Structure 1
Amino acid sequence: MILNAAAENVRGIFIPMFKSDFSVNDTEIGLMLTVSSMGYLIFTYIGGILCEKIGQKKVFISGFIAIIISLSGLWATKSYIILLSCMFIMNIGLALISIAINTIIPVLFISFQAVLMNLTHFCYGLGSTVVQRLSGVLLFNGVAWRTIYLGEAILFLLVLLFFLPIKIPNTHKSKANNGEQTKNSHLLKNKLVYFYMLGLGFYVFAEMGTASWFVNFIEKTYAYDKSRSSFYLALFFGLLTVGRLIGGFIAEKVGYLKLVLISLSAAALLFAIGISIGESGLVIISISGLFFAVTFPTVVVTISKVFKDHGAYATGIIVTASSTFNMVLNMVMGYLNDTIGVYNSFYLIPLGLAVSFFFIFAIYKNVSSTTR
């Protein structure tokens, strides 16, 4: 998860250099980001199927190979087309590793699943924070972006070599091949699948929407400079990362979905209050990050508990759908910024949290107390 974050989130720092080295404009950079997102979406879905067909270990290995190939290609490329291709391949690998991680934890660990899932996502936040700072320092000291990508490729190769002898049970594979189990197609007839898609989708939009639009909201509304506005975003994600470090332990005590419902309601309330009271509320919005923390990893853990026979496939389609919701709602957010104003449209984020709460509550009421 640390390396996944390093490979994925260093891209934003390199964008000015991509524009210079490949002589491209913002539209072509936007195309690169779209291609990356499509690779991730498609192979999150495919990865869920592959986990059941061939097992998580082979999915992990495929993801590692895809990322090593893409990072090596980025190190060597002089072409914008190759850049696009490598970004697509990288996101194939990122998706495969992420779906394998999200589906193997409920298989390997009988207890403390929420703790372990939240800790893995904490590692993602840690990796993102470290790599952005480290890359900035390296670039400042004259290290080329291509060299940084080569270094990441070597790290992925080393981790792959350590990973190869590890034994991982093909639990999902054995279940999927059992003729007595319900077919994957029947899963789409279950209303809980759609509750999960909507509940997780609106949450993912709220988190990623904050990442994408919070600085813009601050600068447009209060005329802050980059240094001041980025502080509040850094505080938000810093508290979110801390929340994931401790949130899993609380979930084990309180109950998985119960804690998610408490956290979502607190996050939505703080976010809405922070917007409504004006400039002094910016720190309240940032503090809400602490209550964002547990939702995604904890809800993902419950998917394999609810859909016991086809947890990997269910996780794949639910996470894919939630990512799609995020893409669409961020487009809506951009449109609303232009039509009703940045301040008013920012209320869409606490509204998204409220909608997420509604569908997570519907799941809570429709599953057993053990799953809760």
Structure 2
Amino acid sequence: MQLATIFIGFIIFGFSENIKGPAIPRIQFDFQLNESQLGTLLALNALGYLLACSFTAWLTRIWGIKIVSIAAFGTMVVSGVLIYVSRSYPVFSSSYFLMYIGNGMLEIALAILGARIFVKNTGMMMNLTHGFYGLSSTVAPLISTGLMSVTLYGHTLDWRGMYLIMLSLAVVPILFALRSSFPGDSLAHEDRIPLTRLMRDPALWYLVLILTFGVVSELAVGGWLVNFLEKAYEWDTVTASGMLSAFFLCFALARLILGPLTDRMGFTLSLLIFSAFSAMCTFAAIALGEDYAYLFAGAGIGIAMIYPTVMALLAKKYPNGADTAITFTVTLMGVGSVIGNYLIGGVIEVTKNLYGEGTQLGLTRGLQAGYGFIGLCAALSAIFSWILLRYLRKRGEVL
């Protein structure tokens, strides 16, 4: 029951985060939103996500992880119903905000569940569970597109019906969670490591940096790869989207297949090797040109391993403070991710101006510089992994 809750939970998480792509243009049309209003909507949702990340560990200490997990899934179901019945923009935006609150709660709850359940083969199991997130993320846009065109009893589901159906799937892990008992809630409060003590550990700050740069590199690919291939290499949308799908496929398979290697090599060394591999693939793809564009997809093999391996390392290093350490790390990662994505856009604009605004050369160099920043983030993740490895070796605490 525990395994079913966490595995299905990651599938639902992947769906809820990645069904929005095909729906956003229709939502924008229905509510007559301009680009600024749409950006504000997405920014507020990111705020809701970070807000939920910040209070979920606190709720876990009060209610226990079982109730918090059920509450996270329940929030997703309720938001799906509210999105379906929304006919005004204020109601819709509030419902969408609630969905991202649920997403943030689910992010932390699933990470805490994994830390408590996977006490053996932690790296393999963390990567395996996150692999299911990768698989559901890969198919989510296709399922979303298909459902929006389905007609039932003469009524087209469209984006409202699609959200209702997809988010209602969260009922399934609720049923498993209700029949489960999860370890860790019985740990006395005085036995838990306080945040103030954790924050004095340099290793935790290194992990924050490793995770932040790794996740910026990971998430930026979804937003920039297709754009890069279409504008720099003049690929058509189908071919460029196919390369993005190849990235996600490499991403998901890496987590499913390579997880056992992290336990054998050690978590810290794994972070160094995989983030460096992703950086090298990205830099080589840019430097070698269009014929080597497949290396963009190959970068997914390395960057996929960063998030679950950091979660595994946190679970092992802070067995009595994993809840707090995970929440602290993921919340700061979220803030850093927002800043990182703004920086990518800024690098592109500055470089375009240097090489000629409005020219093909300026556009190409700008996109190359922006994508180079994505590779730089993976490289910085590798550098801080090396610093962490040296720090832990000096203390005899390498994991």
Which bin holds the TM-score, normalised by the shorter protein?
Answer: over 0.9
182 and 249 in structure 1: CA distance in 2 versus 1, 3 angstrom threshold: closer
**Aligned match of 2:163:** 149
Q: Contact 2:252/2:304 (CA < 8 Å) preserved in 1? A: yes
Match of 1:65 among 65, 74, 80: 74
Q: Contact 1:305/1:371 (CA < 8 Å) preserved in 2? A: no
Give the whole-Å Cα distance in 2 for the aligned partners of 1:154 and 1:228. Answer: 33
**Aligned match of 2:355:** none
182 and 113 in structure 1: CA distance in 2 versus 1, 3 angstrom threshold: closer
Q: Contact 1:51/1:313 (CA < 8 Å) preserved in 2? A: no
Match of 1:26 among 1, 24, 35: 35
- Normalising by structure 1, report the TM-score: 0.94
Q: State yes or no: 1:38 paired with 2:58.
A: no
370 and 252 in structure 1: CA distance in 2 versus 1, 3 angstrom threshold: farther
Q: State yes or no: 1:169 paired with 2:214.
A: no
**Aligned match of 1:345:** 370
Give the whole-Å Cα distance in 2 for the aligned partners of 1:365 and 1:57. Answer: 38
Give the whole-Å Cα distance in 2 for the aligned partners of 1:132 and 1:288. Answer: 21
Match of 2:384 among 335, 359, 368: 359
**Aligned match of 1:125:** 134
Read off the aligned partner of 1:352 and give its amino acid letter. Answer: C
Aligned-pair CA distance for 1:200:
0.7
**Aligned match of 1:329:** 340
**Aligned match of 1:286:** 297
After TM superposition, the structure 1 = structure 2 runs for residues 41-56 of structure 1, keeping only pairs within 5 Å, are 41-56=50-65
Give the whole-Å Cα distance in 2 for the aligned partners of 1:365 and 1:51. Answer: 34
Give the whole-Å Cα distance in 1 for the aligned partners of 2:257 and 2:89. Answer: 42
Aligned-pair CA distance for 1:186:
2.2
Q: State yes or no: 1:195 paired with 2:206.
A: yes
Give the whole-Å Cα distance in 2 for the aligned partners of 1:234 and 1:326. Answer: 22
Q: Contact 1:48/1:314 (CA < 8 Å) preserved in 2? A: no
Give the whole-Å Cα distance in 2 for the aligned partners of 1:270 and 1:232. Answer: 14
**Aligned match of 1:261:** 272
Give the whole-Å Cα distance in 1 for the aligned partners of 2:45 and 2:165. Answer: 21
Give the whole-Å Cα distance in 1 for the aligned partners of 2:290 and 2:168. Answer: 45
The secondary structure found in structure 2 opposite 1:243 is helix
> Any gaps of 5 or more consecutive residues in structure 1?
none
Residues 219-253 of structure 1, C-alpha deviation per residue, up to 9 Å, x if partnerless? 22112221121111111111011001012112122
Residues 102-148 of structure 1, C-alpha deviation per residue, up to 9 Å, x if partnerless? 12222122211112111111111111222321222222344322222
Aligned-pair CA distance for 1:162:
3.0
- Normalising by structure 2, report the TM-score: 0.88
Give the whole-Å Cα distance in 1 for the aligned partners of 2:28 and 2:199. Answer: 43
Q: Contact 2:218/2:304 (CA < 8 Å) preserved in 1? A: no
What is the alpha-carbon root mean square deviation over aligned residues? 1.8
Match of 2:195 among 181, 184, 188: 184
Q: Contact 1:239/1:287 (CA < 8 Å) preserved in 2? A: yes
Q: Contact 1:49/1:316 (CA < 8 Å) preserved in 2? A: no
Read off the aligned partner of 2:38 and give its amino acid letter. Answer: I
**Aligned match of 2:84:** 75
Read off the aligned partner of 2:378 and give its amino acid letter. Answer: L
184 and 344 in structure 1: CA distance in 2 versus 1, 3 angstrom threshold: closer
**Aligned match of 1:5:** 14
Give the whole-Å Cα distance in 1 for the aligned partners of 2:281 and 2:164. Answer: 42
Corresponding residue pairs, total: 369
Residues 29-80 of structure 1, C-alpha deviation per residue, up to 9 Å, x if partnerless? 2112111111111111211333334321121022112111111100100011
The secondary structure found in structure 2 opposite 1:367 is helix
**Aligned match of 1:96:** 105
Indicate the percent of aligned positions where both proteins have the same amino acid: 27
Give the whole-Å Cα distance in 1 for the aligned partners of 2:149 and 2:192. Answer: 56
Aligned-pair CA distance for 1:87:
1.5
